[in-house]
């Protein structure tokens, strides 16, 4: 867990809005920007767009009226205003740290603004406990691997993070699990399994990546993802028991990889739920019934039990600009954020890259002590 209240508090600093950023209200947006804003413009608290400096790797940000008021209030250097606490409450240091790391807000000393590198050295939050689960440890190792690579472009780095812990495809597996029919024979060849699948999830589809089952019920938004991650050899036994549990706990849809290559991914088996309570109950029962299954482990997913056979995620906040192409899965969103933060930290000359990017992602609304969405942050954060 990162303690944002330990050490030197940001609340005692002198700050200002970075003058390199442009704050544009909705009436100042040109046609392409208005299109990019999409439905966000209809929200009651929408103000406009914050445009980053030229050459920045950070995206433009949609800005609420509250955040716009804050940025306008601190255009001139001043002590941290009370307005900040009225907006962010107990998350003041966390939210302010996010704005500082993005370069939107600057800390001012006697000679002018200090760099992000200096701010991190002076104000970085303190990690108050070591990693406790296999998934948390796996996620940290993935970041350590990423920062050890040459300075790749952010999209290449995001891809490396996303596929971390994927196992190599052998000729035998490629031959035995070449398509979805062979995969079904591998995981659902026990008597009665296919009949139960058809009864509970009658809508079936497959493509080059996934085999999908769906109940046909489209009345609920399935925001919550349960990752079930056994090694390939234990997948048939896991699949057999898991589908019985998924049926009992109102899982409307799930998918597995449709060939050997996609079954060697850590996220080879994903189930979808309308609420966290059903997901959590199903996950705990799967862990209880299958204690001897060998775990593969999905990086950047929320821990449920310490061994990591099951973990979870949910749809991330809508990114700006708004588009169908910009919609991300939980893990895609995290990996792209991490890659952008690693790239930005390198440009700032920050040496403690792993700690910096974990801290920065925490400020994005990810509880990096468990790699779970910070629901209170996502529900209450100020854009």
Q: Are residues 98 and 206 in the same domain?
A: no
- The answer to whether residue 143 is domain-embedded is no
**DSSP label at 294?**
P
Residue 258 lies in a domain: yes
Mean pLDDT per 10-residue section of the chain, whose length is 383 residues: 51 84 85 76 81 72 85 88 77 76 83 79 62 85 94 92 97 96 86 83 94 88 94 95 94 96 97 94 95 95 88 74 60 92 86 86 82 64 41
Same-domain check for residues 280 and 364: no
Longest Cα–Cα distance in the chain: 76
Give the separation between CA 113 and CA 245, rounded to whole angstroms.
Answer: 56
- Give the model's pLDDT for residue 383: 42
- Shared-domain flag, residues 75 and 177: no
Sign of CA dihedral 306, 311, 314, 319: positive
Q: Are 340 and 58 in contact (CB under 8 A)?
A: yes
Burial 198-216 (b: 16+ CB within 10 A, else e): eebbeeeebeeebbbbbee
Closest CA to 55 of 21, 7, 27, 15: 21
Distance of alpha carbon 116 from alpha carbon 349, whole angstroms: 9
Helices (H), the chain: 31-37, 65-73, 82-88, 92-101, 116-123, 134-148, 154-162, 171-176, 180-187, 193-200, 235-248, 260-263, 276-289, 330-347, 353-363, 375-380
Q: Which residue has the tokens 């890259």?
A: 353
Out of 238, 264, 296, a domain closes at: 296
Tokens of 58: 């950070």
Residue 281 sits in the same domain as residue 191: yes
Instruction: Decide: helix, strand or coil at residue 288.
Output: helix
Residue that finishes a domain, picked among 226, 261, 296: 296
Residue 159 placed within a domain: no
On whether both 324 and 282 belong to a single domain, the answer is no
Q: Residue 69 belongs to what domain range?
A: 2-130+318-380
Handedness of CA 11, 16, 21, 26 (dihedral sign): positive
The number of residues in the chain equals: 383
Do 183 and 123 fall within a single domain? no
Q: What is the pTM of this model?
A: 0.78
Query: According to the model, what pLDDT value does residue 369 have?
Result: 84
125 lies in the same domain as 197:
no
pLDDT the model gives residue 8: 53
CA–CA dist 206, 227 (Å, integer): 19
Pair 220, 103 in one domain: no
Say how many C-beta atoms besides its own lie within 10 A of residue 145's C-beta: 14
Of 185, 200, 171, the C-alpha closest to 256 is: 185
92-101 helix and 116-123 helix, angle to the nearest 10 degrees: 150
Looking at the structure of the chain, the number of domains it has is 2
pLDDT score, position 173: 96
CB burial readout 290-325, b (16+ within 10 A) else e: beebebbbbbbbbbbbebbbbbbbbbbebbbbbeee
- Residue 288 and residue 324 in one domain: no
Does residue 198 sit within a domain? yes
CB count within 10 Å of CB 376 equals 12
Out of 266, 296, 326, pick the residue that ends a domain: 296
Give the strand pairing for 253-257 and 126-127: unpaired
* Residue 158 within any structural domain of the chain: no
d(CA 14, CA 33): 33
70 and 178 housed in the same domain = no
Query: Is 175 part of any domain?
Result: yes
- Sign (positive/negative) of CA torsion 286, 365, 374, 323? negative
Whether 216 and 253 map to the same domain: the answer is: yes
The reply to whether 96 and 184 lie within a common domain is: no
Q: Domain for residue 223, yes or no?
A: yes
Question: Residue 372 carries which DSSP code?
Answer: E
- Asked whether residue 162 is assigned to any structural domain, the reply reads no
**CATH number for the domain harbouring residue 236:** 3.30.2430.10
- The three-state secondary structure class of 210 is strand
């Amino acid at each position: 867990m990162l303690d944002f209240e330990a050490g030197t508090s940001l609340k005692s600093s002198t700050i200002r809005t970075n003058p390199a950023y442009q704050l544009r209200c909705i009436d100042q947006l040109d046609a392409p920007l208005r299109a990019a804003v999409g439905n966000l413009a209809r929200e009651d608290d929408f103000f406009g767009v914050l445009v980053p400096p030229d050459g920045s790797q950070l995206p433009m940000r949609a800005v609420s009226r509250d955040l716009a008021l804050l940025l306008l209030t601190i255009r001139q250097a001043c002590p941290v205003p009370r307005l900040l606490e009225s907006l962010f409450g107990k998350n003041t240091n966390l939210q302010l740290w996010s704005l500082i790391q993005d370069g939107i807000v600057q800390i001012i000393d006697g000679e002018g603004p200090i760099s992000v590198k200096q701010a991190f050295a002076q104000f970085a939050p303190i990690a108050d406990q070591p990693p406790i689960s296999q998934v948390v440890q796996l996620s940290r190792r993935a970041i350590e691997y990423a920062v050890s690579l040459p300075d790749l472009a952010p999209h290449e780095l995001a891809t490396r993070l996303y596929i971390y812990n994927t196992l190599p495809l052998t000729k035998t597996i490629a031959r035995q699990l070449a398509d979805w029919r062979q995969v079904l024979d591998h995981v659902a060849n026990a008597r009665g399994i296919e009949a139960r699948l058809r009864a509970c999830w009658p809508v079936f589809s497959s493509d080059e990546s996934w085999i999908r089952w769906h109940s046909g019920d489209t009345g609920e938004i399935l925001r919550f993802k349960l990752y079930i991650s056994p090694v390939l050899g234990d997948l048939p036994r896991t699949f057999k028991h898991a589908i019985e549990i998924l049926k009992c706990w109102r899982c409307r849809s799930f998918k597995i990889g449709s060939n050997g290559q996609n079954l060697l991914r850590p996220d080879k088996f994903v189930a979808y739920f309308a609420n966290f309570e059903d997901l959590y109950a199903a996950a705990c029962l799967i862990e209880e019934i299958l204690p001897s299954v060998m775990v593969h482990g999905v990086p950047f997913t929320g821990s449920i039990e310490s061994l990591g056979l099951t973990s979870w995620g949910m749809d991330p906040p809508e990114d700006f600009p708004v588009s169908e192409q910009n919609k991300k899965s939980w893990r895609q969103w995290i990996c792209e954020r991490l890659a952008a933060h690693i790239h930005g930290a390198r440009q700032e000359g920050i040496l403690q890259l792993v700690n910096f990017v974990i801290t920065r992602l925490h400020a994005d609304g990810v509880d990096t002590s468990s790699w779970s969405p910070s629901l209170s942050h996502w529900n209450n954060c100020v854009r």
